[in-house]
């Protein structure tokens, strides 16, 4: 009996161990499916699975509750964002309302207020009423016309510059003729109401950039201005000037492209300095003077870049291709022929640099014991040249002819050919054709007799 009792105890211990293992495994498994061949383990399995299902159901219920709470919050969140966005979009109006209240409370003794604003529109008059009313003497017509022409040019340039700046910022295209027509029509209308010349103002443009996408925004603004002129001029008396200045400063800050300045600093350092000069001049001198200074800086930068454009000496590769010898060290020298390529158009500021470069190269070859046979100017990158450049090239050809050196031009475009056709330089070039290829020009110079040999043979014939 004791033996059987011990076996029974051991069996119970084993059964308890199996059940503990099943509980541990089932606690790790969230969802389990299986079939048992024994009733008792199946009942144990069901008994252990039931608490797990209850926990899963409780977790599902908790998740549903959290989802409902999140949905309720999400319903309130867009409303709050909408109200906040509305306040931000109506920021200038809020500033005016708060500033008007503060100005009314403190009064003009503590703040600089806008003051009295005449209500309504002025009476329409013809633009020349000043002469007919003898307000302006007739002998001042020339001075007034001169200043009016200056103002019109500045107005057009400032408006186009502002339009192009905003077109780049918003990814749009502008038509300069359409802009000029619009400014002209607006100027004619303003002339009958003694208004200032219409132009693209930085402050008005910056304010209009705040979510205005069509011309309807300008129409609404015009209607509001008309309404304000007839009804709200008395209310604007207490509006502080600081409130208006803050609106313009905040709106105009978005026009300053510091991101573009960083990009220019990494990519085009020279244009970055132009940007800095334009920004500083506009900030210190004002909009109009800054615009003129910016144009001057851009023109000077363009002239400087054209003046210092690289001039390269060409060499020949094994495949008879002519390349820059500095970029391709394996390129062979052309011997007693100098091939030069200018990577820009020629004008008065850089044409002398080309002749000086060719003279230095001839001196270098002479120190090496090589007598220059011919000079080729590759004009493949030249789109234009002024009269000074043509005269300088003509003088250079005459100097080369005195030194018994032939001069050729290659790869000239039709525009350059038409300009050279009206001069005697075309007849003094090799093959009398500047449109030949660089390979043809070099081959002709190599095959043609040298001018030095030709002159020596002529001299010996005369002596005989």
Are 263 and 385 in the same domain? no
**Closest C-alpha among 316, 337, 318, 322 to residue 411:** 322
Q: Could you tell me the two tokens for 227? A: 């309404």
Note whether 336 and 385 are same-domain residues: yes
Query: Residue 373 in contact with residue 406, Cβ under 8 Å?
Result: yes
The Cα–Cα gap between 206 and 246 comes to 13
Q: Is the pTM of this model over 0.75?
A: no
**Per-10-residue mean pLDDT for the chain, 464 residues long?**
44 52 52 46 45 53 56 60 73 85 88 82 80 76 79 82 79 84 88 82 68 79 82 82 85 74 88 90 79 85 79 88 90 92 87 92 93 93 90 93 93 91 89 92 87 52 46
Query: For residue 409, what is the enclosing H or E element?
Result: strand 406-410
- The total domain count for the chain is 3
Neighbours of 67 (CB within 10 A): 10
- Cα distance between residue 31 and residue 49, in whole Å: 9
Q: Say if CB 446 and CB 406 are below 8 A apart.
A: no
Residue 413 and residue 417: Cα distance in Å, rounded?
A: 6
End-to-end, the C-alpha distance of the chain in Å comes to 155
Predicted pLDDT at 39: 45
Q: How far apart are CA 152 and CA 143, in angstroms?
A: 14
Given this model, what pLDDT does residue 398 score? 93
- Does one domain contain both 325 and 444? yes
Q: Which domain holds residue 301?
A: 258-307
Give a yes or no: residue 399 inside a domain: yes
Residue 436 lies in a domain: yes
Rounded to whole angstroms, the Cα distance separating 162 from 205 reads 8
Residue 423's region, left for phi above 0, alpha for psi from -120 to 50, else beta, is beta
Q: Both 314 and 427 in a single domain?
A: yes
Render pLDDT for 315-348 as a digit per residue (tens, 0 to 9): 999 888 899 998 898 999 999 999 999 988 888 8
Q: Could you tell me the CATH number of the domain that includes residue 360? A: 3.30.750.24
DSSP symbol at 426: G
Last residue of a domain, one of 40, 62, 89: 89
Closest by CA position to 313, among listed 297, 329, 294: 329
- Give rounded-to-5 percent helix, strand, coil for the chain: 65, 5, 30
pLDDT at position 451 is: 63
Instruction: For residue 200, give every residue at least 6 positions away whose Cβ sits within 8 Å of its Cβ, in sequence order, or none.
Output: 158, 159, 160, 161, 162, 163
pLDDT confidence of residue 221: 79
Residues ≥6 apart with Cβ < 8 Å to 69: none
Q: What angle do CA 305, 358, 318 make, to 5 degrees?
A: 95
Q: Which run of H or of E encompasses 324? A: strand 322-324
Domain boundary among 307, 338, 370: 307
Identify the pLDDT of residue 72: 56
pLDDT (0 to 100) of residue 111: 86
Does one domain contain both 348 and 426?
Answer: yes
- The Cα–Cα gap between 167 and 157 comes to 15
Separation CA 398–CA 405 (nearest Å): 9
Helix, strand, or coil (residue 40): helix
């Amino acid at each position: 009996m004791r033996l059987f009792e011990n076996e029974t105890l051991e069996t119970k211990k084993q059964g308890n161990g199996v059940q503990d293992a099943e509980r541990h495994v089932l606690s790790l498994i969230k969802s389990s499916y299986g079939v048992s061949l024994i009733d008792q383990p199946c009942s144990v399995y069901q008994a252990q699975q039931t608490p797990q299902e209850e926990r899963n159901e409780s977790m599902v219920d908790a998740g549903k509750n959290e989802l409902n709470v999140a949905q309720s919050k999400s319903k309130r969140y867009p409303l709050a964002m909408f109200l906040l966005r509305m306040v931000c979009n109506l920021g200038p109006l809020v500033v005016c309302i708060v500033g008007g209240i503060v100005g009314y409370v403190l009064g003009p003794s503590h703040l600089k207020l806008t003051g009295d604003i005449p209500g309504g529109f002025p009476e329409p008059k013809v633009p020349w009423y000043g002469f007919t009313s003898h307000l302006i003497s007739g002998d001042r017509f020339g001075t007034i016309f001169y200043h009016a022409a200056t103002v019109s040019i500045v107005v057009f340039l400032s408006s186009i510059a502002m339009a192009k700046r905003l077109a780049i910022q918003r990814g749009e295209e502008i038509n300069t003729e359409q802009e000029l027509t619009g400014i002209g029509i607006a100027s004619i209308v303003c002339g009958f109401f003694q208004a200032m010349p219409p132009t693209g103002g930085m402050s008005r443009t910056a304010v209009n950039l705040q979510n205005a996408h069509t011309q309807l925004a300008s129409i609404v603004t015009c209607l509001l201005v008309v309404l304000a002129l007839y009804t709200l001029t008395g209310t604007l008396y207490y509006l502080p000037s600081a409130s208006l200045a803050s609106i313009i400063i905040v709106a105009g800050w978005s026009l300053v492209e510091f991101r573009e300045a960083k990009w220019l600093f990494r990519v085009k350092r020279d244009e970055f300095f132009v940007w800095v000069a334009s920004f500083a001049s506009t900030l210190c001198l004002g909009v109009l003077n800054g615009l003129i200074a910016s144009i001057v800086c851009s023109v000077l930068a363009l002239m400087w870049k054209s003046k210092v454009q690289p001039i390269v000496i060409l060499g020949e590769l094994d495949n008879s291709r002519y390349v820059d010898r500095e970029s391709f060290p394996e390129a062979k020298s052309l011997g007693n022929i100098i091939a030069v390529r200018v990577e820009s158009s020629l004008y008065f500021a850089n044409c002398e640099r080309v002749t000086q470069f060719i003279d230095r190269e001839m001196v270098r070859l002479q120190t090496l014991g090589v007598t220059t046979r011919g000079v080729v100017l590759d004009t493949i990158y030249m789109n234009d040249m002024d009269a000074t450049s043509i005269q300088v090239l003509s003088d250079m050809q005459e100097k080369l002819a005195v030194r018994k050196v032939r001069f050729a031009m290659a790869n000239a475009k039709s525009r350059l050919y038409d300009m050279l056709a009206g001069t005697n330089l075309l007849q003094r070039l090799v093959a009398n054709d500047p449109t030949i290829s660089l390979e043809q020009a070099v081959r002709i110079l190599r095959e043609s007799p040298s001018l030095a040999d030709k002159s020596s043979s002529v001299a010996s014939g005369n002596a005989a």
